[in-house]
Amino acid sequence: MSPRRVLYRKVAQQDLAEAYDWYFEISTELAERFIADLRHAEERIVRHPQIGRLFLGDCRRLLLKSFSYYLYYRQEDEELVVHAILHTKRNPALHHQRAR
């Protein structure tokens, strides 16, 4: 069964807001490019849910094309649930904690 939509957990929404605000402080154009890159990643995982590498158990992560962020997600029935959006340089323990 192929997933039909992408849902963001509250903590992933907070990750998104923090990253967006960071880039917005630098440039509105940069912030919008970040969102476009994220939307592109969403399209990719909807078309090919297995595209992300297995990270921990059934959690997958996909590196954004232009920004150094991982999108952590799981397929749950007909939905893809995003658990985190974390910069690649963040503490690896945080990546593991969010992937559980």
Contact between 57 and 73 under an 8 Å Cβ cutoff? The reply is: no
Tell me what pLDDT residue 2 has: 62
Which DSSP state fits 6? Answer: E
Q: 31-72, pLDDT tens digit by residue?
A: 999 999 999 999 999 999 999 999 888 999 999 999 999 999
Which DSSP state fits 65? Answer: S
CATH number at residue 59: 3.30.2310.20
Q: Number of folded domains in the chain?
A: 1
Please compute the mean of the pLDDT values over residues 6-30 and round it to a whole number.
96
The span from the CA of 40 to the CA of 62, in Å, is: 11
pTM > 0.85: yes or no = yes
Domain enclosing residue 51, as ranges: 5-99
Backbone angles phi, psi at 93, to 5 degrees: -65, -35
Q: 85-100, pLDDT tens digit by residue?
A: 999 987 667 656 666 6
Contact between 64 and 41 under an 8 Å Cβ cutoff? The reply is: yes
